[in-house]
């Protein structure tokens, strides 16, 4: 034993919805005691840092029900069942912004909130966009805009950009710009 | 109407645990149709980018049950009921690493996963640590280490650092180092 790992004793499914699949598990702790763990299983997601030919970052303006507010995020969405993340990234970019692209690269993967969820987010980058027509899901309403890096930084200050993946994306663009300037 | 906002019609509590508070709400969409929204309410959390006197970043090595794996993260934890995030950041830093600090500043707040959760994470920075003794929660097991920036970047590549807040933290340190070098 590494002194850190917990072992599953039993698992109880609490809820299975369209997104959230909730379990409460009993676990054996490294010290031999028992505890419970609440786990939100999630299919995983993709997000795309998409830069247009003017060098601006594409953002989608969207109402987010859990926050009861409208924020600006990079294009993103859940994986469909058995969907390859590379395919999902191209699909979400096109659905939400109407853009296809010539080339896209995966730049990072990370867990959104490892304390209670297994949601793994894959982040992609593209700057070879081919513009087209948005085609959203039936219950999805959003507007697309493009901002330069300076404005994006200001939007983080203002909490208009207010979620982990989009803050990550702006930092990524900042690092890229600083490297290019050196 | 802004053409984006959804309106709550009804709300059903599904589960209330130690961390996760799950609701399924019926909502009215901007186009007048109805849909359901799954919402994981969360108390919010804090995380601390803590740099020691050697300029190294403190990380905690911890088993994360939802991922069934051990990863390295910056010190972090949930808000206690009615707890001020500033207080929570000092508390979590001390509990997990044993360190107090002379000065700490809040550098960002962002939602972890706005599609299904209202978890808001507040991120702090300190480089004025006063070392002391770790005192963990009863069901918490973790090890502390300190790494330089180059190693932290490598750990992201290796997926040893593998969660949003810690990847954010490493990028923050990279930007800080690049600004200092210019």
* Residue B164 to residue A121, Cβ atoms within 8 A: yes
Q: Strand B142-147 and strand B129-130: pairing?
A: unpaired
Q: Which of B5, B36, B7 is nearest to A63 (CA)?
A: B5
Residue of B78, B142, B167 lying closest to A110 (CB–CB): B167
DSSP category for residue A170: H
pLDDT, tens only, B45-72: 999 999 999 999 999 999 999 999 999 9
Run of H or E residues at A172:
helix A164-181
> Is the separation of the CB atoms in B46 and B122 below 8 Å?
yes
Q: Over chain A, what is the mean pLDDT?
A: 96
Question: How many whole angstroms separate alpha carbon B15 and alpha carbon B19?
Answer: 10
* DSSP helix/strand/coil, A79: coil
Q: CB-side exposure of B174: number of CA atoms within 13 Å? A: 22
pLDDT at B137 over 90: no
pLDDT, tens only, A112-123: 999 999 999 999
Cβ–Cβ contact A20 with B under 8 A: yes
pLDDT score at B2: 79
List residues bridging with A126 in a β-sheet: A50
CB contacts under 8 A, A 69-98 vs B, are 70-71, 73, 76, 78
Burial of B45 (0-12, 13-18, 19+ CB in 10 A): buried
Question: How many whole angstroms separate alpha carbon B22 and alpha carbon B10?
Answer: 14
* Residue A65 to residue B17, Cβ atoms within 8 A: no
pLDDT score at A137: 81
Residue of A nearest to B40 (CA): A66
Q: Which of B170, B165, B171 is nearest to B46 (CA)?
A: B165
DSSP category for residue B115: T
Question: Percentages helix, strand, coil for chain B, rounded to the nearest 5?
Answer: 25, 40, 35
Q: What is the pTM of this model?
A: 0.96
A85: its two tokens: 């993340």
H helices of chain B, where?
Answer: 85-97, 149-157, 164-181
Provide the residue-wise pLDDT of chain A in tens; the chain has 182 residues: 578 999 999 999 999 999 999 999 999 999 999 999 999 999 999 999 999 999 999 999 999 999 999 999 999 999 999 999 999 999 999 999 999 999 999 999 999 999 999 999 999 999 999 988 888 888 889 999 999 999 999 999 999 999 999 999 999 999 999 999 98
* DSSP helix/strand/coil, B49: strand
């Amino acid at each position: 034993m590494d002194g850190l790992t917990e072992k599953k004793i039993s698992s109880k499914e609490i809820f299975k919805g369209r997104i959230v699949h909730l379990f409460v598990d009993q676990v054996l702790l490294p010290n031999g005691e028992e505890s419970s763990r609440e786990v939100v299983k999630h299919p995983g997601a993709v997000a795309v840092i998409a830069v247009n030919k003017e060098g601006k970052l594409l953002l989608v303006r969207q109402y987010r029900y859990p926050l009861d507010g409208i924020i600006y995020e990079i294009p993103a969405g859940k994986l469909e069942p058995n969907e390859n993340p590379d395919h999902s990234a191209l699909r979400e970019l096109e659905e939400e912004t109407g853009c296809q692209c010539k080339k896209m690269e995966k730049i990072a993967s990370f867990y959104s909130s490892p304390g209670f969820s297994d949601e793994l987010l894959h982040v992609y980058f593209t700057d070879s966009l081919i513009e087209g027509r948005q085609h959203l899901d039936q219950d999805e309403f959003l507007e697309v805009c493009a901002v330069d890096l300076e404005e994006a930084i200001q939007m983080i200050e203002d909490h208009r950009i207010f979620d982990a993946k989009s803050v990550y994306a702006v930092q990524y663009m900042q690092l890229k710009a600083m490297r290019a300037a050196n």
